[in-house]
Amino acid sequence: MSFTDALKQKRNVMRAVILRDMRSRFFNHGLGFIVQSLWPLAHMLIIISVNTFAGRAAPYGDSPLVFFGVGLVPTLAFMYISRFMSLSVILNINMLSFPIVKVTDILFARAFLEVIAGFITLLFVWIIFISLGLNPYPVDPTQAVFAYLATILLAVGVGSIIGVVTSFLPIFVTVYALFTIVVYISSGAVFVTPNLPDQIAIPLSYNPVVQCVEWMRVAYFEGYSDRLLDREYLLGFGLGSLFIGLTAERLSRRILFDS
């Protein structure tokens, strides 16, 4: 088989997995996919509303809605992409009975859907903020885009590892769901990590999701401290996770197929 034919075959497999995933999870209709974007949006709006009505002022920027939204966007993007990738193999395990379908096809099909859902969520947030008369534009748009793309890389990398582990230990998807709560609490989405004492802030900075939040805030708010931001660490963590996930899937492919 030529390289071009192999690419076409892979494209057809991915398309089939994506369509099946959409129809099986979204009311047997493609338009139901929009619902997937409403979950993180509702999650975000609830957290923003709670913090706003509690009277918390924005440490940076002119609006607490924008400040908390900037921290929640990368945090929730990571949580939703990686978590649903961990569920994808279990939900589509029957497709592995076809030799042409690999675990990576299922994982990346789910990642593709979640990334698209994330962009739709961003569009909804943008429209809401504009309609409220808020300014959702970052000081450095290029860095904001890079921060979001780095978050996607991290989520896909971690999700690939968790997805492979879950294919052997289904209970691990529950363990990971509980773990994401810890990730969320320690991400700095609703507080300013650099303002904490070094004894707390430095250990928290080793959480790569904290790096996603810090990178996004540095891009959005002029004067925001970048003392904890380590872009190379975040990118290295994301690429390393993706490499480990792909390697683990390849090594476990024969075991999973035989089982």
**Which string of DSSP letters, residue by residue, matches 24-45?**
HHTTTSGGGHHHHHHHHHHHHH
CA dihedral sign, ordered 161, 166, 169, 173: positive
How far, in Å, CA of 241 to CA of 136, rounded?
Answer: 31
Sort 234 into a burial class: Cβ within 10 Å, 0-12 / 13-18 / 19+: buried
pLDDT by 10s per residue, the chain, length 259: 566 766 777 777 777 777 776 666 665 555 666 666 677 778 778 887 787 777 677 788 778 888 888 999 999 999 989 988 888 878 777 777 777 777 788 888 888 888 888 888 888 888 988 998 888 889 999 999 999 999 999 999 999 999 888 888 888 888 998 999 999 999 988 889 999 999 999 999 999 999 999 999 999 998 898 999 999 999 999 999 999 999 988 887 666 555 5
Quote the number of domains for the chain. 1
* Per-residue pLDDT at 23: 65
* Per-residue pLDDT at 26: 60
**Single-letter residue type at 115:** V
pTM of the complete model: 0.88
* Per-residue pLDDT at 219: 94
Give residue for tokens 């904490």: 196
Rounded to 5 degrees, φ, ψ at 206 are: -75, -10
Domain residues for the domain of 231 are 3-258
**CA 102 to chain CA mean position, Å:** 22
**CA 178 to chain CA mean position, Å:** 16
Orientation angle between helical segments 141-168 and 231-258, nearest 10 degrees: 30
